[in-house]
Amino acid sequence: MTLKGARERRVRAGGVDLCVVELGDPGQPTVVLVHGYPDSKEVWSEVASRLADRFHVVLYDVRGHGRSSAPLPLRGGFTLEKLTDDFLAVANAVSPGRPVHLVGHDWGSVQGWEFVTVRRTQGRIASFTSMSGPSLDHFGHWIGQRVKRPTPRRVGQLLGQGAKSWYVYLLHTPRLPELAWRGPLGRRWPRLLERLEKVPRGDYPTASLPDDAAHGAWLYRDNVRARLSRPRADAYAHAPVQLVTPEDDAYLSQRLYDELESWAPQLTRRVLPAGHWVPRTRPDRVSAWIEEFVTAVEGGRPEQRPTGRYSDRFGGQLVLVTGAGSGIGRATAFAFAEAGARVVAVDRDTESAVRTAELARLVGAPEAWSETADVSDEQAMEKLAEKVHTELGVVDVLVNNAGIGLSGGFFDTTSDDWRKVLDVNLWGVIHGCRLFGRQMSERGQGGHIVNIASAAAYQPSRALPAYSTSKAAVLMLSACLRAELAGQDIGVTAICPGLVNTNITTTARFTGVDAEEEARRQQRTARLYGRRNYPPEKVADAILRAVARDEAVVPVTPEARGAHLLSRFSPMVLRALARIKPPV
Ligand code: NAP
């Protein structure tokens, strides 16, 4: 294994020789990482290197995998009881006097559930983080309940998971898996992983893959049928559990975990927009969640969980919001903070950005920062992007919200007026997407960009040529960027609010009139928006939902939704409405 500072040792357990690797200071809490199928410990190399600064990190090759020896005979050598013996032997060798924090992926997690629910490991496991691998006992009960009391929904769930388990049936056939893995499948697997699961090439998979996969078929044969048909009735977790569920897991349905609280009362849920191999595709997020959870358990705070809606999705994520000093931007910063995100509040007005960051901390953000920047100033945005990257890392969610209003007929709108509105509303969004989007793209671990457009983007109006043009451009930019970044798991959403009660009405400019008339129109618009009284908090809620669901275009407010429908099915009506002269 090519990890810096890795120390290798052998541990003898139940007739096999296990290859164990340690990183970091043994005086720190021990985190044991258990790999899945068809993997070896190298699947964890990216996560392990990120955790080694803070913890004593231990990885081992499961019996028959990597550089650990295989049991003889193979049949019967991979039962969960024997795998538990192996885990206990490793835990006793690397951390004799102190319980370990267990982390499992795929079959490593299936094993982890066994370890954390059997009595003989009690006191040896401080916490368990599970990724993409259910307890076979819980799974057995899940199937049993649906077979005994079938409803259309439950039958659908059974069929859905049944279809996702196609490979499990194949692995039960004699000799075929061994032939396939030692033949063409083994050769093609790295390329398949790259293409289907977007797993970047590196020190993984290793050359031992064909043998690992052939031996590992016995994990299924020795355990699956027996446990699913006769699941243990007492499979309760005796340590706090963190469940990380990838939303796009091709092999496991999220529904499998619906009733998990009854088996694991101290449960923290996390959701990731990713496929099955998260230790390789999302090492930053996975290691951050492990670090947070282990630190909380070590500090005696296992029950502490963020309580806001979407906290399982955004907890610990880095979110940057522009124009966060007021209105929709401020409400969005608070909504992410309530979901446990770390928030960077950016505004051209320092004081309001500072206030937003302070309040964000109060409502739930574990950390919040304020930054002053004018989004239309390219150099200022470059500096901001560099600073955030160096000090805080890559932004997971970017909300390009800062914008200004401008109302007035085309011939009353000067070149200078056009420049101002396009500089902020369009160029501000371009700078944000280019600078922070590039960082997301280079990191290669997904992300999300939200651009605040407007219903004015698709609803023409004789009174708003410059504003509507800027917002239509933002809508189109978002659609183009969404197409370009889709292959990198970076979502792009355009939010199109209608009339929302914010300060924009008092700061919006009205062209072609003197200052007194402009002030009068601002007051009148503010009154109108006040009477309409659609709160920015509802827009913020729509933004979090749109990111969680990866929606492309989201009209918010009934009038924005109505206009959106008309723009698709009856644009003539919208064109007629656009001619109506606004009241003066
Ligand atoms: P808001 O209450 O005026 O908030 C906008 C914030 O952005 C303010 O704090 C503002 O600071 C800041 N800002 C303006 N220009 C900036 C720049 N160049 N650099 C950095 N920060 C800047 O307005 P809002 O209604 O929340 O608007 C947010 C977004 O929603 C805008 O893009 C707007 O076009 C869009 N939108 C609003 C509505 C609505 O009805 N309110 C409808 C559709 C779309 P200052 O206070 O110093 O200007």
SS (H, E, C) 421-473: HHHHHHHHHHHHHHHHHHHHHHHCCCEEEEEECCHHHCCCCCCCHHHHHHHHH
Return the ligand 1 atom nearest residue 329 CA: 26
User: From the CA of 386, how far away is ligand 1's center (Å)?
Assistant: 24
For the CA atoms of 542, 435, 446, 360, what is the dihedral angle to 10 degrees?
Answer: -50
Write the CATH number for 325.
3.40.50.720
Give the domain-ending residue among 298, 325, 356: 298
Query: Once rounded to an integer, what is the mean pLDDT over residues 579-584?
Result: 84
Alpha-carbon distances of 521 from 47, 421, 505, 507, 525, rounded to whole Å:
57, 18, 9, 11, 6
pLDDT of 398 = 98
The number of residues in the chain equals 584
Q: Find how far residue 341's CA is from the centre of its chain.
A: 11
Structural domain tally of the chain? Answer: 2
Return the ligand 1 atom nearest residue 428 CA: 18
Q: Are residues 291 and 238 in the same domain?
A: yes
pLDDT digits (tens, 9 = 90+) for 50-99: 999 999 999 999 999 999 999 999 999 999 999 999 999 999 999 999 99
Give the domain-ending residue among 298, 327, 342: 298
Contact present, 575 and 461 (Cβ < 8 Å): no
Task: Among 356, 495, 503, name the best residue to mutate to test ligand 1's pocket (greatest count of ligand atoms within 8 A of Cβ).
Answer: 503
Query: Of 502, 496, 498, whose CA–CA distance to 453 is shortest?
Result: 496
pLDDT of 169 = 85
pLDDT digits (tens, 9 = 90+) for 108-134: 999 999 999 999 999 999 999 999 999
Q: Are residues 417 and 281 in the same domain?
A: no
pLDDT of 582 = 81
Q: Are residues 224 and 321 in the same domain?
A: no
Give the domain-ending residue among 298, 324, 348: 298
| Mean pLDDT over each residue of the chain, to the nearest integer | 95
Query: Of 306, 239, 255, whose CA–CA distance to 103 is shortest?
Result: 239
Q: Are residues 293 and 322 in the same domain?
A: no
Tell me which residues have their CB closer than 6 angstroms to ligand 1. 322-323, 325-329, 347-349, 352, 374-376, 401-404, 424, 428, 452, 454, 497, 499-500, 502-504, 507, 536
**Residue ID of nearest Cα to ligand 1 atom 32:** 403
Using only C-alpha atoms, the chain has a radius of gyration, in whole angstroms, of 27
Q: Are residues 208 and 340 in the same domain?
A: no
Contact present, 257 and 162 (Cβ < 8 Å): no
pLDDT of 332 = 98
Q: Are residues 220 and 181 in the same domain?
A: yes
Indicate whether 110 belongs to any domain. Answer: yes
pLDDT digits (tens, 9 = 90+) for 244-267: 999 999 998 889 999 999 999 999
- Positive or negative, the CA dihedral 254, 259, 263, 264 is positive
Reduced to 3 states (helix: H, G, I; strand: E, B; else coil), residue 34 is: strand
Contact present, 270 and 244 (Cβ < 8 Å): yes
Q: Are residues 66 and 197 in the same domain?
A: yes
User: From the CA of 325, how far away is ligand 1's center (Å)?
Assistant: 9
Beta-ladder partners of 556:
497
User: From the CA of 479, how far away is ligand 1's center (Å)?
Assistant: 22
Is residue 202 very low, low, confident or very high in pLDDT (cuts 50, 70, 90)? confident
Query: Among the options 257, 467, 529, 534, which is catalytic?
Result: 467
Q: How far apart are CA 178 and CA 211, in angstroms?
A: 8
Tokens coding 276: 């099955």
Q: How far apart are CA 128 and CA 237, in angstroms?
A: 9
Instruction: Give the residue numbers spanning the domain of 171.
Output: 7-298
Q: Are residues 140 and 288 in the same domain?
A: yes
Return the ligand 1 atom nearest residue 423 CA: 18
pLDDT of 390 = 98
pLDDT of 548 = 97
**Residue ID of nearest Cα to ligand 1 atom 17:** 374
Task: Among 370, 502, 509, 529, name the best residue to mutate to test ligand 1's pocket (greatest count of ligand atoms within 8 A of Cβ).
Answer: 502
pLDDT of 2 = 64
Indicate whether 144 belongs to any domain. Answer: yes
- Positive or negative, the CA dihedral 394, 337, 102, 208 is negative
**Residue ID of nearest Cα to ligand 1 atom 3:** 504
Q: Is 316 left (phi over 0), alpha (psi -120 to 50) or beta?
A: left
pLDDT digits (tens, 9 = 90+) for 297-337: 999 875 455 566 899 999 999 999 999 999 999 999 999 99
User: From the CA of 519, how far away is ligand 1's center (Å)?
Assistant: 18
Task: Among 504, 543, 554, name the best residue to mutate to test ligand 1's pocket (greatest count of ligand atoms within 8 A of Cβ).
Answer: 504
Return the ligand 1 atom nearest residue 534 CA: 40
Indicate whether 523 belongs to any domain. Answer: no
Could you write out the DSSP letters of every residue in 319-351?
EEEETTTSHHHHHHHHHHHHTT-EEEEEESSHH
Q: Is 302 left (phi over 0), alpha (psi -120 to 50) or beta?
A: alpha
Helix (H) or strand (E) holding 56: strand 56-60
User: From the CA of 278, how far away is ligand 1's center (Å)?
Assistant: 37
Is pLDDT at 107 greater than 80 in this prediction?
Answer: yes
Q: Are residues 218 and 366 in the same domain?
A: no
Indicate whether 176 belongs to any domain. Answer: yes
pLDDT of 574 = 96
**Residue ID of nearest Cα to ligand 1 atom 41:** 500
Residues 6+ apart with CB under 8 A from 274: 246, 247, 248, 281, 282, 446, 489
Considering the entire predicted model, what is its pTM?
A: 0.91
Is residue 4 very low, low, confident or very high in pLDDT (cuts 50, 70, 90)? confident
Indicate whether 344 belongs to any domain. Answer: yes
pLDDT of 276 = 97
User: From the CA of 254, how far away is ligand 1's center (Å)?
Assistant: 38
Is residue 561 very low, low, confident or very high in pLDDT (cuts 50, 70, 90)? very high
Is pLDDT at 162 greater than 70 in this prediction?
Answer: yes
Is residue 201 very low, low, confident or very high in pLDDT (cuts 50, 70, 90)? confident
Write the CATH number for 224.
3.40.50.1820
Could you write out the DSSP letters of every residue in 536-571?
HHHHHHHHHHHHHHT-SEEEESHHHHHHHHHHHH-H
Indicate whether 258 belongs to any domain. Answer: yes
pLDDT digits (tens, 9 = 90+) for 479-488: 999 999 999 9
Q: Are residues 542 and 569 in the same domain?
A: yes
Helix (H) or strand (E) holding 362: helix 350-363
User: From the CA of 401, how far away is ligand 1's center (Å)?
Assistant: 7
Indicate whether 519 belongs to any domain. Answer: no
Q: Is 467 a catalytic residue?
A: yes
* Residue of higher predicted confidence among 472 and 308: 472
pLDDT of 301 = 72
Contact present, 332 and 356 (Cβ < 8 Å): no
Range of weakest confidence among 301-305, 395-399, 414-418, 566-570: 301-305
User: From the CA of 402, how far away is ligand 1's center (Å)?
Assistant: 5
Task: Among 321, 322, 328, 352, name the best residue to mutate to test ligand 1's pocket (greatest count of ligand atoms within 8 A of Cβ).
Answer: 328
Q: Are residues 322 and 293 in the same domain?
A: no
Is pLDDT at 409 greater than 60 in this prediction?
Answer: yes
Return the ligand 1 atom nearest residue 323 CA: 7
Q: Are residues 329 and 280 in the same domain?
A: no
Indicate whether 524 belongs to any domain. Answer: no
pLDDT of 167 = 86
Is residue 1 very low, low, confident or very high in pLDDT (cuts 50, 70, 90)? low
Query: Once rounded to an integer, what is the mean pLDDT over residues 382-407?
Result: 98
Tokens coding 89: 């032997």
Judge if the upstream peptide bond of residue 240 is cis by omega within 30 degrees of 0.
no
Reduced to 3 states (helix: H, G, I; strand: E, B; else coil), residue 303 is: coil
